[in-house]
Amino acid sequence: MTDENFPPVRGKLTPQRPLNDLTWLRVGGLADYLFQPADLDDLRDFLRDLPQTVAVFPMGVGSNLIVRDGGLRAVVIRLGRGFNGIDVDGDQVTAGAAALDAHVARKAADAGLDLTFLRTIPGSIGGAVRMNAGCYGSYTADHFVSAKAVTRSGELITLAADDLNFRYRQSDLADGAVIVSATFAPPKGDPETLHARMEDQLRKRDETQPTKDRSAGSTFRNPAGFSSTGKADDVHDLKAWKVIDDAGMRGARVGGAQMSPKHSNFMINADQATAEDLERLGEEVRKKVYATSGIRLEWEIMRIGEFLGDPVPEA
């Protein structure tokens, strides 16, 4: 499509937009278009009037994403102001999809509501719902009431938990649908205690994870099928970092990509890595882990777009 064929927008529509600066790993080629809607009506009208043959990819803050070097043949939709509000009403918290997880956790704690597990998760609420984000034994699904989403045809719909079919790091969402907000019903807690817990979580995260490096959080899902609990009796045998360590891949490198020496399930852009470097390193890790343990690691980082050269073969 040409620019003239696109529906009129009140937000910002940018052709041939590089995506590398929108991802935490700082890699990736061009998107055909990047659309940043002005508000909900702008998003609905755009999706309704955009030809169904044009692919759409909703993108959050890029914290759990590798965009391949060949870019993305789609309209990338990125929500910003107008979609980042946080409202506390009684025992429920409603947050826009662009609201950062950490901000939601803090505002909920101010109101004596416990969403502290979100404090150390890098990303926004839309992504948290889409990926059923979780840590310390809590998941988005545990507190989820409903979400609002705009379908590919521009319809605003309400989704219940059953509609999303939450699983470990997964949910079901129709192609091209864009989550715009979510409502949660957290347990109550003392605000001072909740804030203290989050400070402790941040301290532990900084001690054990490469928070100063360019990463996308956990690279692979835990083979056990659940997050670390953070408790003293946590079992590590089927944690991704443990099987990566056992395979001798802590600190492994491909080009500018490295498995962090500090946390072996964190892939980092150590030295001007390409998306191909990162993906090849990930597949090499999967290959070595399977050879040593018989466990086939599953990517937690989403990988999208086209390869610039030959595709990276899966292990």
Residues classed as catalytic:
169, 218, 300
Nearest residue to 41 via CA among 150, 157, 203: 150
How far is residue 292's CA from residue 248's CA, in Å, rounded to a whole number? 9
188 φ/ψ angles, rounded to the nearest 5 degrees: -85, 160
Find the radius of gyration of the CA atoms of the chain. 20
Q: What are phi and psi of 40, to 5 degrees?
A: -60, -45
Task: Report in angstroms the alpha-carbon separations of 276 from 28, 71, 72.
Answer: 9, 12, 14
212 CB-near residues (< 8 Å, 6+ apart) = none
Question: What residues does 220 pair with on adjacent strands?
Answer: 299
Tokens standing for residue 240? 């991704």
CB 70 within 8 A of CB 305: yes
231/234 Cα distance (integer angstroms): 5
